[in-house]
Amino acid sequence: MSGIDTATVTLTLGQLQELQTKIVALEKEIADARRTIDSGRLGDPESSARALSTTLTDSLAVVRFAVANLDPLTVRGWPYDELRRVGAAIATLPGVSDFVRELSNTLVEFANRAEGWEQARAEGKEQERLASENSRKGAFSMIPEDN
């Protein structure tokens, strides 16, 4: 490669100070731009936390409604793995109420029940599953149980 390996530049003291001032101003501008980008990505951490908390609370209301009204006996395709993870996760969140901790257990138990129904459907054993649930509840069943 050919080119200049060294060069001598002559500046006055005023010109050097002006370049140094411009460098400092550009470094400040870059730092400000980075802060703006970061705050745009993350937003205000406090308001983000509030928004996430509100979203979680609202989502739990929807989940409670679904669990109370969409029995896995009659509704196929429950996302039981996800429901189980939600149930397990909310119990470990800091500052949750006793109600939420109790809801956690309910969600995990419901997820286990939904999984049992999905497995019974996959194996063609829905009637046996129904008889089993009814017998646990003390209901009378006309379906003979295998001994």
Q: Do 58 and 83 share a domain, yes or no?
A: yes
Q: Is residue 128 part of a domain?
A: yes
Range of the domain at 100: 53-136
Which residue did the predictor score with more confidence, 31 or 36? 31
Q: How many domains does the chain have?
A: 2
Asked if 129 and 116 count as a contact pair (C-beta separation under 8 A), the reply is: yes
Question: What is the model's pLDDT at position 26?
Answer: 93
In-domain check, residue 141: no
Please tell me what DSSP assigns to residue 84.
H
- Given a cut of 70, is residue 139 above it in pLDDT? no
Whether residue 30 is contained in a domain is answered as yes
Instruction: Give the long-range contacts of residues 24-29, CB within 8 A, separation 24 or more.
Output: none
Same domain, 39 and 67: no
Q: What is the mean pLDDT of the chain?
A: 85
User: Each residue of 74-133: pLDDT tens digit?
Assistant: 999 999 999 999 999 988 888 778 888 889 999 999 999 999 999 999 999 988 988 888
Query: Does one domain contain both 60 and 124?
Result: yes
pLDDT value at 51 more than 90: no
Q: Which residue has the higher pLDDT, 141 or 117?
A: 117
The predicted structure's pLDDT at residue 147: 47
Q: What is the structure's pLDDT at 142? A: 54
Count of beta carbons in the 10 Å neighbourhood of residue 60: 18
Please tell me whether residues 98 and 68 are part of one structural domain: yes
Retrieve residue 78's tokens: 């429950």
Whether residues 26 and 89 fall in one domain: no
Give the global pTM: 0.60
Whether 62 is covered by a domain: the verdict is yes
Write the pLDDT tens digit of every residue in 68-78: 999 998 999 99
Residues 127 and 63 in one domain: yes
